[in-house]
Every structure is written in C-alpha cells, then in structure tokens.
Amino acid sequence: MKIYAVIMAGGVGSRFWPRSRERKPKQLINIFGENSLIQNTVNRLNGLVPHENVFIITNKFHKEEILNQLENINPDNVIAEPVGRNTAPCILLASKVIYQLDKDSVCLVLPADHLIKEEENFRETLKKAADYAYSSENVLTIGISPTRPETGYGYIQIESKEISPRIHPVKTFAEKPNYATAVRFLESGDFYWNSGMFIWKTEVILQELKKHLPELYKDFSDLVLPASDPGFESSVEKIYGSIRGISIDYGVMEKSEKVSLIKSNFIWSDVGSWEEVYQLSEKNGTGNVFEGTVYADSTLDSFVYSPDKFTAIIGAENLLVINTKDSLLVCRRDKAQDVKKVVEFLKEHKLDDLV
C-alpha cells in the first residue's frame, strides 16, 4: 500500500481580505509563523507521504506561486483547474490521475489552509485511517470533537458502536446549524465537526463517484492521462467548460453506504476568519493581539495587524483591525464572517485592484 496526498488549494479566502487576495489567497500567505498555510500542510506530511506522492489541485492563477513555495513538489503534480467547480470534480480529477499511476493506492484528501497542532498525532490518525480504508474499502472522514456550539462548521453524527478503535459508522451529515441546534449537537455527544479531510482507496472513491455522480464521472471519461501528457491540460479545460459544481459531501459522502468517521486526537482549526486567528493567537494582559507597530490605550480583546504602517487604537473593544499597504479593515469580532461582503462590494464596483 502506497499513500498519496491530494491537497485542495483552490479557495479564494475572501473572509481574510485585505490580506487574502485573488492572486495570493489565504493558503499562500503566512498567517501563523514564517511559512504559508500550504507550506505547513505539505510539511506536516513528512515521514508519511513522500514528496513525489503529493499532488496539489489549485487554479491556473496560483500554480506558479505554489511551485515557487513548494520547491520539492514535481511540477506535474501541481494540477490547475481552469475554473473552480467545488470539491467533487477536484477530487475526481486528482483520483483519476493517481489511479493511473498506482491502482493499489490510498489517498489522503486535505484542504491547504487548515491549522493543525500535535502533528505527530495527526500523522498517526492519517496512518490509522489509511490502513483501515485499505483493508475495509470504506471511505473515511476525520471528525473533530466540538469544543463550543460553533455555527460556522458542518457536523457529522456517528453511531455509538466502534468498528475499529476511534472509528465509527456515520449516521448522518448536518449542514451548518443555528446556535440552538449547535448547542443541541454539542450536548448530544455523538456529533463531530466536519473537518473536510478524507481518506480512502483511490479505486473505492472512483467507484463511489461513478455510482452517485454518474454524469460527472462520464464527463471525465475523455481525460487525457498521465498528467505529464501534452494533451492533459487541454482535456481538463474542455471538461471543466461543461461540468457543474458539486461538493463531495453532498454528491457522495451523504449518499454512500461506506462512510466511517475517525475521531481526531489533535488540535484543529479551519482558520475560517480573522476571529479564528484572534482565538488561536497568544494574547497580552488585556486580551489584545498586535502584529506590527501599534499604540493602544484603553483597548481590550482586539486584534490589530499592521506590519507596514503605524496604527493607533484608543478606547476600543472586540475589534479586528487589518491595515495593509492599500486597504484598511475595521470590523467587530462577532462580524468576522461578513468580511466576504467587502470582496463582493469591490467586485460589484469593479475595484479589481483591491480584490
């Protein structure tokens, strides 16, 4: 059994404006430490997945930057989608590429922009899940034990019986809930956050895609392989010109009878907003997080990012202030999810140089 990794890196990170831009989105910037999120994602696979088995699915605008940041990755392993079509086409494309290389492969599918601590435990979880997927022909997802009634995540309900240590059959998937429902999920004890990370035999997920999304599967029948073939890129362009977007959760995982969940034993965040960055950052004595040259007076529980210019903040509480060379965001922390509306406004008013 050889393990391969597919890292999904096609997002635009609009809730991280003004640092995240279309040309250099969230996964390509350094939010924690010196490395970008995608560099950290690849690095934490060291010892589990060799570099030649790591594949990146991104879009054509970001391929060059990804190759610059990931010098150890084979350029043929960085596959550009001409347009985003959600996760099911992305996973089908990658799975076909990998299956052509290795018909006995197990694949880890990971978003490029998550924060994970306790990385040894993370690798142990992936290895355990890969072994189980290989022997059982189940498709697995990693469930995160909820620590709060979070309304920004999807949830997965498990059955109580354990089919292998930390592995349970999945009962149902639940969309992002309202607060009252999230509280009920938390209290029930059998709901887990949907991490968006998957583990399966490549052959099995292709069978499940064919079964549950037959039209999409048929659309990929003309894919030219291998990825190094001169006709590969143009065949991808043609396929993506006609397919519709659909998520792997909705298209396959919610319908498949082969789905199991492995419980995580590591610290995880999808780093979905500036509020998440604040929560994950070390605070000073007044609950503030400052990056850059910042003067603060009578300010509590706020996050200020301003590495390029001096910023003063007085008499503020629970604010997010993101000050870049060309833009300034001031936002209440409880409105962090609404930052994407700024990007919508900029697009609508054709302020493309700020998007």
pLDDT tens over the chain, length 355 residues: 999 999 999 988 899 999 999 989 999 999 998 999 999 999 999 999 999 999 999 998 999 999 999 999 999 999 999 999 999 999 999 999 999 999 999 999 999 999 999 999 999 999 999 999 999 999 999 999 999 999 889 999 999 999 999 999 999 999 999 999 999 999 999 999 999 999 999 999 999 999 999 999 999 999 999 999 999 999 999 999 999 999 999 999 999 999 999 999 999 999 989 999 999 999 999 999 999 999 999 999 999 999 999 999 999 999 999 999 999 999 999 999 999 999 999 999 999 999 9
Q: Which of 254, 269, 284 is the last residue of a domain?
A: 269
23 vs 243: CA distance, rounded Å? 24
Question: Do 37 and 165 lie in a common domain?
Answer: yes
What is the per-residue pLDDT for 309?
95
Please tell me the predicted confidence (pLDDT) of residue 13: 86
| Predicted TM-score (pTM) of this structure | 0.93
Q: Say what the alpha-carbon torsion angle 58, 63, 66, 70 is, to the nearest 10 degrees.
A: 100
Is residue 13 located within the same domain as residue 126?
Answer: yes
- Rg of the chain, C-alpha, whole Å: 21
Contacts of 105 (CB under 8 A, 6+ apart): 1, 2, 3, 4, 98, 99, 201, 202, 203
Pairing of strands 259-263, 191-201: unpaired
| 337: its two tokens | 């999810």
Report pLDDT for 152. Answer: 87
User: What end-to-end distance do the CA atoms of the chain give, in Å?
Assistant: 44
Residue 200 contacts residue 162 (beta carbons within 8 Å): no
Distance (Å, whole) CA 236 – CA 204: 22
Domains in the chain, number: 2
Both 139 and 62 in one domain: the answer is yes
> What are the C-alpha distances in Å from 60 to residues 23, 34, 131, 224, 290?
10, 25, 34, 18, 34
pLDDT confidence of residue 11? 86
Show which of 237, 269, 301 is a domain's final residue: 269
pLDDT of residue 238: 97
The predicted pLDDT at position 12 comes to 85
Question: Same structural domain for residues 20 and 88?
Answer: yes
Same structural domain, 28 and 62: yes
HSE-CB of 155 using CA atoms within 13 angstroms: 26
pLDDT at 112: 97
Residues 50 and 124 in one domain: yes
Q: Do 54 and 192 belong together in one domain? A: yes
Q: Residue 171: in which H helix or E strand, if any?
A: strand 167-174
Q: Domain range for residue 327?
A: 274-354
**Cα separation, 319 vs 334, whole angstroms:** 9
From 251, 269, 287, give the residue that closes a domain: 269
